[in-house]
Chains A and B, each alone.
Chain A
């Protein structure tokens, strides 16, 4: 049992290595191997539920620096591990159907195994350095999988964008880790304590936490680094479900929760961080609002879900910033299941409609693919926090965390917007009549694809009731049952009703977009602004660097040195090299005399 967690790391990496090194030619074998490996990790993760122990071995030791590779199991890790391996397993099975005819199937499954390795590494890691290594590894596997269809320019660009944007966040993360190290004197989670934050002072501690949060901003796609996530939808849809909805993007929230738990930050002692929690909460709140607004005007089914993911991640980050990381983790847990369900459902729809992603070209799919449609509807109900679905309980906890803050109104507003855009999607894509060839010939997907959907549907409804999975902070009860009649519940239900009514009035039975808001459709023009800014900034830096290189280094240092040597040489040439043999002889004699003088007499 003690060594079991190591297999969580070893099995996926072995699978990835075997596929990459030996099985590239055999798609069937590599997909089977990859799926079996993730099944094994899932079984191990279930066996490890509720365990609480850690182990490590020494990796680097130099002077006082000691770095370990190790794992730390607690409720937080085992809960996250169930999400990662469970959804990973279902996504693998779904991929068997979705990627059946892909020419690069072996590479795809190899990359999935690599991702499973990296993600389990993040979840298990017992210290910040190890977490950072695996943090970068998930970035790499995300890059590889977004760019799976690299022959498409958009996919290659999206992969690059995701990688580069994440690098910005990761840089802050690294500095944050170093600062926390300097403050607490350790990078090991178990050895950290909040007392050292007190001695470091508010500013230093707050800055360190915010820099660590930078990593979460990049990975969890918060404003202003959110731009990569919608583009990442260029990857295969199962990848979007696994990496860009359920697990990797939630790693930021997981990491913040891990940090807060390790430092022992609670609502009572949050003053030691100064304004940092407020900043985190507001970043999350604004992200959720902005992303929800963007989602209302998108036409690509995956883009809608991507902005919805952004918005829900904003919720989680908000909860973390309100020092309720357990509420954030609870939402992460429930969200992972129903968002994976929605993404896989959209994958089934896209597959059935011959890779058509525009919802205005779908329609009437409820009759043609009833299983997909009903599971999708249940996912939608969970996301929109209808009572007795998982989203209801977890969102309620976030509202409770926000109840004393103006963020409550943002959260409720976002809930209404979520209902609005999700039912817009459902009305257009699944009801009405087929508007295009793809949706006319659509038929139900094979069992290998709807099977995972059914499992995820069960999880989307039942997930809040496995209360032993959830991490607690010691002082907060697991509150899976909100009180009806409570003000917050009424607000949540009101938000749902408002969103639903508006979606019904505007979109039920419509065949084309009745309203057009360019600001939302064009994502607040943020991509264009970034592009311009990057261009201007890059040109300015390039001009500066060119000036420095051309005139300071080239002109002053390199050419300057040669010119001064040349000048001195010219002076000597004019005086000494006059072509007269006797003066040469004289100088030589003088030289010999001087050498003798200095060596013999001038001691």
Chain B
């Protein structure tokens, strides 16, 4: 098998990747102005969290088998995220209908 020669990634490397992914997502949420992009960045943060869960599940063995609880939770996250996307996109559409824009710097009605 050609993959056998590749080194097996350690838990730290998984967590590093997931942290990077999460940081990129957070940065996107903070920096970007377009709500669609912000939404995509949020999804990226969810993915980062899911990756962490899978990694922990893989490396935490119970009786020689991976602990599948973490992976179960990932399925939940995916399901809930799908529902959330449906709701979120609907909100964005109605927001656009109301304001004719989805640029966050033009939506300032939260000013205190």
Contact = CB atoms under 8 A, between A and B. Distances in A.
Contact of B30 (A573, A576, A578, A586): A586
Nearest to B109: A579
Interface residues of A, number: 12
Given A578-B112, A579-B108, A585-B38, 14 more contacts: A573-B112, A577-B110, A579-B112, A580-B105, A580-B108, A581-B107, A582-B31, A582-B32, A582-B33, A582-B104, A582-B105, A584-B110, A585-B29, A589-B26
B111 A578 contact: yes
A581 B103 CA distance: 10
Contacts of B110: 577, 579, 581, 584
Nearest to A590: B30
Contacts of B108: 578-580
A584 B104 CA distance: 11
Contacts of A584: 110
A580 B109 CA distance: 9
Interface string B74-112: 000000000000000000000000000000110111111
A581 B112 contact: no
A282 B109 CA distance: 84
A582 B103 CA distance: 11
A581 B107 CA distance: 8
Interface residues of B, number: 15
Nearest to B26: A589
Interface in A562-585: 573, 576-582, 584-585
A577 B30 contact: no
Main secondary structure of the interface of A (DSSP, over half): helix
A2 B26 CA distance: 93
A349 to B, nearest CB: 86
Contacts, number: 36
Nearest to B32: A582
Contacts of A589: 26, 29-30
A594 to B, nearest CB: 14
Contacts of B32: 582
A555 to B, nearest CB: 28
Given A580-B104, A580-B105, A585 B30 contact: yes
A315 to B, nearest CB: 82
A579 B104 CA distance: 9
B92 to A, nearest CB: 13
B95 to A, nearest CB: 12
A511 B26 CA distance: 112
Contacts of B105: 580, 582
A579 B109 CA distance: 6
Interface string B26-50: 1001111100001000000000000
B98 to A, nearest CB: 16
19 contacts: A576-B112, A577-B110, A578-B108, A579-B107, A579-B109, A579-B111, A579-B112, A580-B104, A581-B104, A581-B107, A582-B29, A582-B31, A582-B33, A582-B105, A584-B110, A585-B29, A585-B30, A589-B26, A589-B30
Contacts of B111: 577-579
Nearest to A574: B112
Contacts of A577: 110-112
Contacts of A576: 112
A579 to B, nearest CB: 3
A582 B112 contact: no
A585 B31 CA distance: 9
Contacts of A578: 108, 111-112
A23 B104 CA distance: 86
Interface string A398-422: 0000000000000000000000000
Nearest to B111: A579
A577 B110 CA distance: 8
B20 to A, nearest CB: 15
A39 B30 CA distance: 98
A579 B110 CA distance: 5
A577 B112 CA distance: 5
A577 to B, nearest CB: 3
A581 B99 CA distance: 15
The 10 closest A-B pairs by CB, nearest first: A577-B112, A579-B111, A579-B108, A581-B104, A573-B112, A586-B30, A579-B110, A585-B30, A585-B29, A589-B26
A182 B26 CA distance: 74
Interface in B16-75: 26, 29-33, 38
